[in-house]
Amino acid sequence: MDDGTWGYVGSKVDLRCRFINSSPPVKVSQVTWQKLVNGTKQNVAIANPSLGVSVAPSYRDRVTFKNAAVKRRTPTLEDTTITFSSLRLSDDATYICEYATFPAGNRENTVNLTVYVRPTTQMSLSTPTLVAGSSSLKTPVATCISANGKPPVYMHILWETRVPGEVSTQEYRNPDGTFTVQSDYILTPSKETHKETLACVSTYNEEVFTDSVTLDIQYEPDVSVDGFDGNWYLNREDVQLSCQADANPAVSLYQWRLINGSMPSNVEVRDSILTFKGPVTYDLQGIYVCDATNSIGTRSASVEVSILGTFTSLLYFSIHLQVCYSSGNLSKTTLLIVFLASLCLWLTDLLFGSAFLVEAIVVQAAIFSEKATCTVTAAPSSRQTAAEHSGAFSSYNKETSQMGLVVTLHFHHSGIDETPLAYNDSTHIVLHNPLYPHIEIYNTKAFHAFWYYLSFLPETQAALCV
């Protein structure tokens, strides 16, 4: 006989029993299979050479002698293996195979039948509705159950997910002798965990069962306002604001409002869209707020709208130089104008680089005059440049519609000689500009070169007016 054998519920299994006769042989008068229950023996099946084969009523449809020779009119009882079909959990027990012989008496042996039960895997959300809260309180969000299995040593549950969390596992013994393993996945419900997948991997005796759920986390709207690109300039058409809300459940109500004011008359509100009809005016400036509401709560977002002056507004530089010289003529004045224009270009590049495009340079200087004026007309090179100066543009254009920058060069020198005119530490530039209230640049080498060249002009002694 085997020491033990096993099978799954519902399967078929053999309990082997063989008798090896002695020499001289003995007579087998009967073979009895019994089940040992709480120390008592219960008959399962009997094979008798004279009476034939009989099976206990509770086993009649499921237990047979495997060897056909046992059922013959003249049976052979050396191999009395029995077969269990449709194995039941209650069949799990110790079985005795007993041979009654003459004259040797009774001989018996035992075999242990272990019945395994494949568990069923069930997975579900712990509660139908999970709501993200402001606190970091952790709660079970999903439960995986490996139910009614046996033996428990083969029953294991693992979790596969991208969401960090904790696992709590418990084991229960059922009244019928099977076991149930329950594993809970615990985390803090949040907007970030919405629609994440939790997979339960249940293993049993090297068999793997997998099930999964998708988290359904409800949360307040996460709101933002789109549409303002920082480039809303006067007379621009077709501008609007859009309220974007990520929410679960979906937003049921959008409301727009203007901080410290009422909505402009040309505004059209359609749910999440705020449309401004007609050309842009300064009346549209302000802080617009969108309130988005769902069944969980209300959240808001805002945007500050500022209006730029007309994009083609020009920026004017006026550079005033006062130059005194003992004698001069038209050619000298012309040279002065050329160098003054070059100086204006250099100063424009120094202040703004490629942010503004020079459109015109005008230098005015009368013959034998002690004063020359250079004016540079420039425009923003892009709408982004205009947007970067939106505050100054909008405030200044309301009054003048033009930007004014006056650059006055002040030079102080104590003497005149035949050497090239040099600058000292008191040489500086003062900029008067509504964009930049006050800027000073000291000891600029370009001016040194400028005066250096003027000092070598024929019949000209450059000097500063004092």
Domains and CATH numbers, the chain: 4-116 (2.60.40.10), 120-215 (2.60.40.10), 220-305 (2.60.40.10), 315-464 (no CATH)
Instruction: Give yes or no for a cis peptide into 437 (omega within 30° of 0).
Output: no
Sign of CA dihedral 47, 53, 57, 58: positive
Report the candidate in 99, 116, 88 with the shortest Cα–Cα distance to residue 34. 99
Taking only Cα atoms into account, the Rg of the chain, rounded to an integer number of angstroms, comes to: 50
Q: 181 pairs with which residues across the strands?
A: 146, 171
Calpha distance 41→46 (Å, rounded): 13
pLDDT of residue 126: 86
Report the candidate in 154, 159, 248, 273 with the shortest Cα–Cα distance to residue 203. 154
Calpha distance 48→66 (Å, rounded): 15
pLDDT of residue 464: 34
> Can you say whether residue 315 is alpha, beta or left, with left for phi > 0 and alpha for psi between -120 and 50 degrees?
beta
| Helix, strand, or coil (residue 357) | strand
Q: What is the pLDDT along the chain (466 residues), one digit of tens a residue?
A: 667 899 999 999 999 999 887 767 888 889 999 999 988 999 999 999 888 899 999 999 999 999 888 888 778 888 999 999 999 999 999 999 999 988 888 888 999 999 999 999 999 998 878 899 867 789 999 999 999 999 999 999 999 999 999 999 999 999 999 999 999 999 999 999 999 999 999 999 889 999 999 999 999 999 999 999 988 988 888 899 999 999 999 999 999 999 988 899 899 999 999 999 999 999 999 999 999 999 999 999 999 999 887 433 334 444 444 444 344 444 555 555 666 666 666 666 665 566 666 656 666 665 555 555 666 665 555 555 555 554 444 433 333 333 333 333 333 333 333 333 333 333 333 333 333 333 333 334 444 444 444 444 333 333 333 3
Contact 35, 93 (CB under 8 A): yes
Q: How many residues does the chain have?
A: 466
Token code pair at residue 394: 């909008």
pLDDT of residue 50: 86
Pairing of strands 120-125, 139-149: antiparallel
pLDDT of residue 369: 54
Calpha distance 241→233 (Å, rounded): 15
pLDDT of residue 147: 96
Calpha distance 164→167 (Å, rounded): 10
Please return the burial class of 106, using the count of CB atoms within 10 Å of its CB with bins 0-12, 13-18 and 19+.
exposed
Residues near 326 by Cβ (< 8 Å), separated by ≥ 6?
Answer: 460, 461, 463
Q: What is the DSSP letter of 199?
A: E
pLDDT of residue 225: 97
